[in-house]
Amino acid sequence: MMKENAYSLDQFVTDLRRTARDGRDEHGILATLRPLAQRLALSGSWRDPRHYQADSGQGYGVHLLHEEPDHTLAVFAVSWLPGRGIPPHDHGTWAIVVGVDGPEKNVFWQRTDDRSSPGYAELRQSGEKIFRSGDVLAMPAGTIHSVRNESDQVTLSLHVYGKHVNFTQRSQFDPDKHSESPFILKLESLQ
């Protein structure tokens, strides 16, 4: 017998496609998908022990679960090694992140320069929050955040993007050096 809260990746992708196709604006898409992404994350139906694998060099693992042929509507499982994280970055598209297993610290940043000098960026921290299982972060395009796993265990989160982030010309930032540079993810192979 199927659990009442069972919700598969295939069902989510169908709902994701329908939501994107319905012509909603970014805020409407995020509002509609937020509870659906949470439902998928909590169902656990998509999880695989291999999703906890992470690249020791970069400190995290990115596992592609779904992507449309035109690189839109991408879904990832992302694992974070203990004591590791990722610097401030944007996504170049809207994003929804749901905590699956373990706490992840998200720090939010605001860009304060006028963006007139390529490679230069001034950021100031604007908040932070520890996300746990079931917590949802819905981010419009342009949101800048950093992530850190401050626990002693590998953590896991579900990420949904309007477009695969390696095709959005997104950036990562160094607040101390006031720099901005291109940011491409290295994907883990589940072979």
CATH number at residue 55: 2.60.120.10
Q: Residue 67: inside a domain, yes or no?
A: yes
Q: Residue 187: inside a domain, yes or no?
A: no
Q: What is the pTM of this model?
A: 0.93
What does the pLDDT read at residue 186? 82
Q: Residue 121: inside a domain, yes or no?
A: yes
Helix or strand or coil: residue 38?
Answer: helix
Q: Which domain covers residue 83, as residue numbers?
A: 9-182
Q: Residue 32: inside a domain, yes or no?
A: yes
φ, ψ (nearest 5 deg) of residue 21: -75, -25
Q: Residue 190: inside a domain, yes or no?
A: no
pLDDT in tens, the chain (191 residues): 345 558 999 999 999 999 999 988 999 999 999 999 999 999 989 999 999 999 999 999 999 999 999 999 999 999 999 999 999 999 999 999 999 999 999 999 999 999 999 999 999 999 999 999 999 999 999 999 999 999 999 999 999 999 999 999 999 999 999 999 999 888 876 54
What does the pLDDT read at residue 100? 97
Q: Are strands 136-139 and 171-174 parallel, antiparallel or unpaired?
A: unpaired
Q: Residue 3: inside a domain, yes or no?
A: no
Structural contact between residues 101 and 155, judged by C-beta atoms closer than 8 angstroms: yes
Q: Residue 153: inside a domain, yes or no?
A: yes
What does the pLDDT read at residue 185? 83
Helix or strand or coil: residue 133?
Answer: coil
What does the pLDDT read at residue 23? 80
Cα gap 105→128, rounded to integer Å: 7
Q: How many domains does the chain have?
A: 1
Compute CA distances 64 → 72, 100, 104, whole Å: 12, 16, 20
What does the pLDDT read at residue 190? 53
> Distance between alpha carbon 17 and the CA centroid of its chain, in Å?
18
Q: Residue 98: inside a domain, yes or no?
A: yes
What does the pLDDT read at residue 189? 60
What does the pLDDT read at residue 111? 97
